Amino acid sequence: MFASAAETGVVDVGSGGTSNAGSGGSSSSGGGNASGSIELLCPPSGSSSISASFSSNSGTSSQTHSTAISSATDHSNNNNNSNNGHNNHNPSLQLNGNASSNTRQHSSASSNSSSNSSNNISPPISNSNNNHSSSNIISGFCSTIWRSATFGSATPVINPLPGVHINPKSMESSSDSCSLSSSITPEVCLADQQRITSTQDQQEDQSQTFLGATELDDELIKQLPKEVLLRVFSYLDVVSLCRCAQVCKYWNVLALDGSSWQKINLFDFQRDIEGPVIENISQRCRGFLKSLSLRGCQSVGDQSVRTLANHCHNIEHLDLSECKKITDISTQSISRYCSKLTAINLDSCSNITDNSLKYLSDGCPNLMEINVSWCHLISENGVEALARGCVKLRKFSSKGCKQINDNAIMCLAKYCPDLMVLNLHSCETISDSSIRQLAANCHKLQKLCVSKCADLTDLTLLSLSQHNHLLNTLEVSGCRNFTDIGFQALGRNCKYLERMDLEECSQITDLTLAHLATGCPSLEKLTLSHCELITDDGIRHLTTGSCAAEILSVLELDNCPLITDRTLEHLVSCHNLQRIELFDCQLITRTAIRKLKNHLPNIKVHAYFAPGTPPAVTSGHRPRYCRCCEIL
């Protein structure tokens, strides 16, 4: 935006007329002096604006006027000599509140004294006060960082004035022609009529852009210690660092310094990332790299991971999920060189076998988290080796690993007593014996998923309620043998339960909801889909509990055939309810949903209503054959 004359004290010069703005300024028609300027105001703080002005003098009077948008000629009387100091004030030349008091004027003689003109270019002048030096450095550096991260360059040069053409060639060269021309007022163009004698002024104006970037900013930034700049760069993401590296040589060195690349996530570039990229990153970051995510980078193979392990010995978190090409060779290199590894994700790495777990158990004793979900070649032998070598294990996920059985879980329970998170989704051979031993040995267990483990019974729930009072997340979807007895025990002893997935637990009734409502005051998300025995009374018990009014946020009731509109009436008291699932609840009507939304305007209701049967066509004669049959 360009500031108005009233706000900045800049005088607007009209063509052939009179105008006055600012303090102490006056003008009238008649022979005298004419002046004008073109000013580029810059938004960021701590930066000055570029101003190119022109003026003409008559006799001994000297007066300079400037305008923020357009330029034109003006005639003034000689009685304004006393006000020259006021009219010569130009706020666009200020830096931190100090304005320039000196201008340079160059004149060329002509036959008429009223047509004498001069070209005046005023470079930005820095502040000499020492008490503002630190604010200059901070504001200049922050503005430059913002420009680099946003535009990819610290000094993007554009022409913000559509009506004024800036000739870059004339500004780069030392020619005497004027570099400003206006298509609106041809009188303003002084090309080939003015003489520019100061090459230094031209270079200072050339370095100025519409964002206020000057060579002064660079000098201020260079005054900051290297350690401070590296600390600032450490907060930038990968894209911003790459943009900053293109600003200048100094920034290239800082942006590509290994200390700025301690945590890298390349998931957004998974299609473009190939082996050489990982190798270059490894060689540059070396010991600084602590966290690397290559999730979905399917072009990455064993050679790249080997190079990574050879150079980045201090890596702690490594995500290789969905990297289909990696094999046991990669984990062997990791275990050999990365002894500080604490978390590794091998989800969907189908070529990983038990050998990988054996390598990690030997070389990574500090391992605390591992995910081998959907690694179908993992069996009880690999899990046993891992449990023996990595006794600090806190999180273990083996979702979809069909070969993991009770022996594997018993080994985890025996050697890893600090286990807190365990995901055994779709490990179909798991039975009550292994879960009971796990519950007895791992008292810190907080999250347990045994969905699709169909052989489990209430004995599992009774053991969990007896030993694992810190349990906050329980997923038992598809465990059809669980009844109200097991959940009654959980509601009585597990007071910290926040999320429960009871989908397809077809034997539970409203009694389960009554126990959860009274015993689990922190219950936030509850899934009851396909629990066909749940009725409106069960929901009523749930809504009267201590958790319903302020805590319960998600409730899923898909395919609960006994749920009616009364359920939605009970849920009105759940003020924090944000989402409810009602797919295939045949007794729910649109009217009840509208009433619920009136009481809870922010709630999201997901429901499906089968389209009504279209009425039979009674009017008109039905053709004997369709159009296709008629053609045939």
- Please, are residues 44 and 61 in contact by the beta-carbon 8 Å criterion? no
> What local confidence, expressed as pLDDT, does residue 416 receive?
97
Ranges of the chain with pLDDT below 50: 1-132, 153-200, 203-213, 630-632
- Which long-range contacts link 94-101 to residues 24+ away (Cβ below 8 Å)? 94/48, 95/46, 95/47, 95/48, 95/124, 95/125, 95/126, 95/127, 95/136, 95/216, 96/46, 96/127, 96/129, 96/132, 96/135, 96/136, 97/127, 97/132, 98/125, 98/127, 98/128, 98/129, 100/124, 100/125
The amino acid at residue 579 is R
Distance CA 293, CA 346 (A): 11
Three-state SS across 59-93? CCECCCCCCCCCCCCECCCHHHHHHHHHHCCCHHH
> What local confidence, expressed as pLDDT, does residue 310 receive?
93
> What local confidence, expressed as pLDDT, does residue 210 receive?
38
- Please, are residues 434 and 455 in contact by the beta-carbon 8 Å criterion? no
The amino acid at residue 123 is P
- Please, are residues 181 and 188 in contact by the beta-carbon 8 Å criterion? yes
- Please, are residues 543 and 570 in contact by the beta-carbon 8 Å criterion? yes
DSSP conformation letters of 136-200: HHHHHHHHHHHHHHHHSSS-------TTEEE-HHHHHS--SS--EEESS-GGG--TTT-----HH
Pairing of strands 263-265, 525-527: unpaired
* Radius of gyration of the chain, Cα coordinates, nearest whole angstrom: 38
